[in-house]
Structure 1
Amino acid sequence: MSAQPVRDEAAGDDGAAGDEAVRAALRTGLPAAAVLTDPDVTAAYAGDMAGFCPSGTPAAVVLPQTVEQVQHVMRTATALRVPVVPQGARTGLSGGANAGDGAIVLSFVKMDRILEVDPVNRIAVVEPGVVNAALSRAVAARGLFYPPDPSSWETCTIGGNIGTGSGGLCCVKYGVTAEYVLGLDVVLADGRLLTTGRRTAKGVAGYDLTRLFVGSEGSLGAVVGATLALKPAPAPQLALAAEFPSAAAACDAICRIMAGGHVPSLLELMDRTTVRAVNALTKMGLPDTTEALLLAAFDTPDPASDLAALGALCTAAGATEVVPAADGPESELLLAGRRAALPALEAMTGTTMIDDVCVPRSRLGDFLDGVAAIADTYALTIGTCVHAGDGNTHPNVCFDPRDPDETARARESFDAIMALGLELGGTITGEHGVGLLKKEWLAKELGPVGLELQRDIKRVFDPLDLMNPGKLF
């Protein structure tokens, strides 16, 4: 597939003239305020938060507020053969929301209504621009719970979460976004509106097109509505912190916890580099002498008892200290340290390249040892935090972007980490998506047959390759 569709002659193919034709066509069916063309404004929509990913200059940024307006955008794009890049809050970390030259950026931040919260059927119906935290708070007021909670939950949108198949800190017990999307409304490349899925608790009618769209990064269509499953609100969680003399000992504890049948609501690991970075940024006083810090929590009826059992497993695995939180506020303080990990690591050198590799839990120790060796090989600081309950690791390669040599080494180390993950039986992404950043690695993971079938699926939904072209493959 071509990375960029070519406009037909009617649209013009000479840059500025072609862009103006696109803008004029968009304005025929959209309010003037919905079409942004000022270069200083549209530049802010050019890309997400990923490094090493190029972005172009869009012809226009569109801020629709209705499904019909999205359909007009897609019909215009099809008529003029113009690529469309759907966007949420641009908190992504793989370049999946980056614009191409002359593209239409379709930003859903204005479609931010929670249309329905149904406590009986335990569903919410939302527009794609709803912020994750806003939904979580709205359903909590009704005694319900929307579990997926990415680290960027205060700013990221449900549409973006669906596009990348986001996870979060509570995945070990509650699972990821895909498990909560019951149905979708999607505007296809030609402007048709497709409704997938259901509102019922069960349903197996036909192919599961809903799951196909989750994680597709806007490459098959533009999600304009979602029906989401909810759960009853859990009890307040209680946490503990366990210090370990080595990453291997911490990973042994993780294996003991999971093999023992325990189901914590959270199980997170931070290595020494990450803990020290968090302390430097937040002054929280986490134990920066530790080689690995394991955070665990339970939201069960008797969390103190469950934490005691988990703490005993940590001690048996070699923990030097196990400290349970006394109450909810103390638990939240521990978890705030984990949520601060990414900005803390970025503050060390100015920027980070954030990896997102998922490996079998049993291979976590091997992976962390391998990342440490990669850091030594490339003379870089790499801090790793892990959703330990599901093996989803986030090595953060810290580097100074003003230093060309260090930047080159950062890119090389990123690739070495990708290769290590596949070697250990893992996957190149657990929750951040492929986007531009990992296209070549997706091909290696899928193999030629898998890659060709995915391209064939793309052609069925988007034969002109207008939907977020050049991403994934």
Structure 2
Amino acid sequence: MDVLAAADPTLPGSPADGRRHTLPPGLLDALRAAVGPGGVAVDPDVTASYARDMMPLAPAGTPGAVVLPTDTGQVAAVVRACAEAGVPIVPRGAGSGLSGAANAVDGAVTLVMTRMDAILEVDEANRLAVVQPGVVNRDLRRAVESRGLFYAPDPSSYDWCTLGGNLSTNAGGLCCVKYGVTTDAVLGLQVVLASGEVLRTGRRTVKGVAGYDLTRLIVGSEGTLGVITEATLSLRPLPAAPCTLVAAFSSAEQAGAAVTGAVRAGLVPSLLEIMDATSITAVERHTGVRMLGDEDTPAALLLGQSDAGGALGMAEMEHLERVCLAAGAVFSFVTDDLAEGRMLLQARRDVLTALETLGSWLTDDVCVPRTAIAPLIAACARIAAEEGVVVAVVGHAGDGNMHPTLVYDAADPAHVAAAHRAFDRILTAGTELGGTVTGEHGIGRIKQDFLAREIGPVGLSVHRAIKAALDPQGLFNPGSMFSMR
């Protein structure tokens, strides 16, 4: 029997808290009528698995029900039923987020979009795709690559994160330096509003400035303004096979100087990543492979790629190599061998997996001016020493988006508290360096105070006015991004 169909609505909301988070009378029947009995779960063993995303410090409640729709009509019916009952809705994808934006609210309906996973159209002539929100990022990339096309946004979790989550958080990735973040690839959306009405934003044309840009308003809104049920995405021609650079530095300051030198030189690589010594050591320990062979572990490593193709790509990476050497690189290597390039890039993608072997991890997300990368790394090292936690810094050096990752003992309350303090101190350091508290992960339920400080009281009042206009009952993902009070 389908476990979703067999759920008992009278069971407690969570094995952990022992509380009941049942739905109002009649709502469960309305939800089952909307999506079918196999699309509704209230069994605590099932709902508990949808309680939170991958941000361990963000608060999470217990869903009153988990609902899995399969089309826009079902989503609209669920929204109308919840609005009539006054029950909040938390939209959710695969749960790969790192801000708590998909975390459950006690007694609310968690609306899981993963069954809406169809690639509805690939228009090669106009270089666009129409997709449902449950499509996995990697699956779209592979589907369009077979047609000589390329979907650029590539979060580190691209092999399992869904496009709906990418849209809701305006996710970035390793290729942002050249191709931008998710919103730069979105032409239009289909969105279910709080009224249950279906809104279409944007268009299929390359240009269009008719009216407010509602598409960009919805992208990055973390499910607080509507539920995305379809997206029209811009595609690019499939890039050429990449050329890859690796450069090692004896200090983070030298690596930072290389990044700013590349910017001054007008270089726009398709990828430019940085790893500090803690990250490098963790990966080498995890894989058993020295990234630079017999060379000593450096203080910082830059990984660059060019997808310009052939001689152009090699020339771009050789130019970047000269910039790195001028900044003080102690080792550099350029290759157009695909296997070598994949191996070097895999080391960057392996950082979180490697850190998991050391303890629980918590990834921060702070974006600073590229000239402030080295000062941020120095600040992270100081905070790590003062709080007694491990902080490994990796990030997208090409756009200044850094991901200091904390490793701590989750079984030790004092160590958890230290990790939380370090997390907050890193955000403060980033803003003091002229940065922002999130470059791509979003605000969620972990950075609300920091958002309020960053945008100020006038900015916060504008956010609240927009929220009130589109969601007057405040039922869409309450508690994410900002409070209404």
**2:299 corresponding residue in structure 1:** 291
Give RMSD over aligned pairs. Answer: 1.2
Distance 1:254 1:94 in 2: 28
Q: Give the drift of 1:364.
A: 1.0
CA contact (8 A) 1:34 1:63 kept: yes
1:321 pairs, out of 317, 322, 331, with: 331
User: Do the aligned partners of 1:149 and 1:170 also contact (CA within 8 Å) in 2?
Assistant: yes
Correspondence 1:29 to 2:34 = yes
Quick check: 2:252–2:300 contact (8 Å CA) kept in 1? yes
Q: Deviations over 1:294-353 (max 9, x none)?
A: 10111113222221111111111000000123501110110000011112122212x112
Q: CA deviation at 1:30?
A: 2.1
Which stretch has the larger CA shift, 105-114 or 370-379?
Answer: 370-379
* Residue correspondence of structure 1 range 16-415 to structure 2 within 5 A: 18-19=23-24, 21-287=26-292, 289-301=297-309, 302=311, 303-349=313-359, 351-415=360-424
Distance 1:71 1:282 in 2: 48
Residues 445, 481 of structure 2: 8 Å contact kept? yes
The alpha-carbon deviation at position 24 of structure 1 amounts to: 1.9
1:263-305 deviation per Cα after TM superposition (whole angstroms, max 9, x unaligned): 1111000000000111111223214611001101111132222
Matched-pair contact (CA < 8 Å) for 1:19–1:102: no
Task: Name the structure, 1 or 2, with higher relative contact order (CA <8 Å, separation 6+).
Answer: 1
98-107 or 27-36, larger mean C-alpha shift: 27-36
TM-score, normalised via structure 2 length? 0.93
Call closer, same or farther: CA 1:147–1:16 in 2, change over 3 Å: closer
* Whole-Å separation in 1 of the counterparts to 2:246 and 2:307: 16
Query: Does residue 440 of structure 2 align to residue 435 of structure 1?
Result: no
Q: Cα distance 1:142–1:78, how it changes in 2: closer, same or farther (>3 A)?
A: same
Gaps of 5+ in 2: 1-18
Secondary structure of the corresponding residue to residue 348 of structure 1: coil
Question: Contact conserved, 1:19 with 1:59, CA < 8 A, in 2?
Answer: no
Which of 237-246 and 282-291 deviates more?
Answer: 282-291
Say whether the 8 Å CA contact 1:23–1:59 is kept in structure 2.
no
Question: Equivalents in 2 of 1:55, 1:22: separation in Å?
Answer: 22
Contact 2:24-2:85 within 8 A present in 1 as well:
no
Q: What is the CA–CA distance in structure 2 between the aligned matches of 1:306 and 1:116, rounded to whole Å?
A: 35
Q: Distance in 2 between matches of 1:199 and 1:374?
A: 48
- Structure 1 pair 16/401, CA: closer, same or farther in 2 (3 Å)? closer
Contact preservation (8 Å) 2:35, 2:68: no
Question: How far does residue 38 in structure 1 lie from its aligned partner after superposition?
Answer: 1.4
Query: Take 1:223 and 1:472, find their aligned partners in 2: how far apart are those partners?
Result: 17
Per-residue CA distance 1:208-259 (angstroms, 9 max, x = gap): 0000001000000000000000000110111111010000000000110111
- The AA in structure 2 aligned to 1:304 is M
Offset of residue 59 of structure 1: 1.2
Please report the TM-score for the alignment, with normalisation by the length of structure 1: 0.95
Alpha carbons 1:20, 1:59 under 8 Å: kept: no
The equivalent of 2:477 in structure 1 is 468
Q: What is the alpha-carbon distance in structure 2 between the residues aligned to residue 256 and residue 278 of structure 1?
A: 27
Distance 1:20 1:264 in 2: 57
Q: How far off is 1:371 after superposition?
A: 1.1
Structure 1 position 16, deviation (Å): 5.2
Q: Relative to 1, partners in 2 of residues 1:326 and 1:298: Cα closer, same or farther, differing over 3 Å?
A: closer
Q: For residue 28 of structure 1, report the CA deviation from its aligned partner.
A: 2.3
The alpha-carbon deviation at position 25 of structure 1 amounts to 2.1
**Kept in 2: contact 1:284–1:337 (CA 8 A):** no
Query: Which consecutive residues of structure 1, in runs of 5 or more, have no partner in the other structure?
Result: 1-13
Partner of 1:7: none
Tell me the amino acid that sits aligned with residue 152 of structure 1.
S
C-alpha offsets along residues 173-203 of structure 1, whole Å, 9 cap, x if unaligned? 1111010111000001121000000000100
Distance 1:197 1:436 in 2: 29
Write the distance in 1 (CA, Å) between the matches of 2:155 and 2:22: 41
Decide whether aligned partners of structure 1 residues 16 and 326 sit closer, same or farther in structure 2, where only a CA change above 3 A counts: closer
How far does residue 19 in structure 1 lie from its aligned partner after superposition? Answer: 4.8
- The match for 1:6 is none
* CA contact 2:129–2:234 (8 Å) conserved in 1: yes
How many residue pairs get aligned? The number is 459
Is the 8 Å Cα contact of residues 22 and 59 (structure 1) preserved in structure 2? Answer: no
Counterparts of 1:89 and 1:71 in 2: how far apart (Å)? 21
**Alignment partner, residue 14 of structure 2:** none
How far apart are 1:403 and its partner, in Å? 1.1
